[in-house]
Amino acid sequence: MIRNDCANPLPPEVLRGLDLFNTGKYFEAHEALENGWRAETGEIRVLYQAILQVAVTYLHIERGNFEGAVRVAARALPKLEKLPEACCGVDVAGLRDDFLSVMEHISEIGAEHIHGFDNGVFKAIKYVVD
């Protein structure tokens, strides 16, 4: 059960991925998180994969790829929704809310205006203390 895994500390590669995400280096974050995801065999993989898919969605947005962003977001959202509010110190609820806000904004501006998207809307992943 993923809740049990949520009490464990994050491995170094995943922490590195979160740091890269929080500095707006979404491609590099994806790479680090994917390494962590591939190395993990437990259900906590869902957390890593959800965050890496958010990173890929943001990368698609930065590159003006509306369809790619929407496609990857559709895979990320169900994973974020099945996770607890906080997991391994990650504020999953906050990430989910921020991600939904970004996707709502993308949906409002549409594919024709994605190149003018304000990346300042992207928020850092927050940590929670038990």
pLDDT digits (tens, 9 = 90+) for 76-121: 999 999 999 999 999 999 999 999 999 999 999 999 999 989 888 9
Q: Which domain holds residue 7?
A: 2-121
**CA dist list (Å): 57 to 5, 64, 105, 118:** 25, 11, 13, 14
Strands of 1-130, DSSP E? 86-87, 90-91
Report the alpha-carbon distance of residue 126 to residue 22 in Å, rounded.
Answer: 9
Is residue 69 within 8 Å of residue 54, measured between CB atoms?
no
Assign 130 a pLDDT band (cuts: 50, 70, 90).
low
Provide the pLDDT for residue 77. Answer: 97
Provide the pLDDT for residue 102. Answer: 96
Provide the pLDDT for residue 128. Answer: 86
The tally of domains found in the chain comes to 1
Provide the pLDDT for residue 5. Answer: 87
**pLDDT tens, 20-70?**
999 999 999 999 999 999 999 999 999 999 999 999 999 999 999 999 999
Question: Has residue 95 been placed in a domain?
Answer: yes
Report the alpha-carbon distance of residue 36 to residue 52 in Å, rounded.
Answer: 10
Look up the CATH number of the domain holding residue 93. 1.10.3450.10
Question: Has residue 127 been placed in a domain?
Answer: no
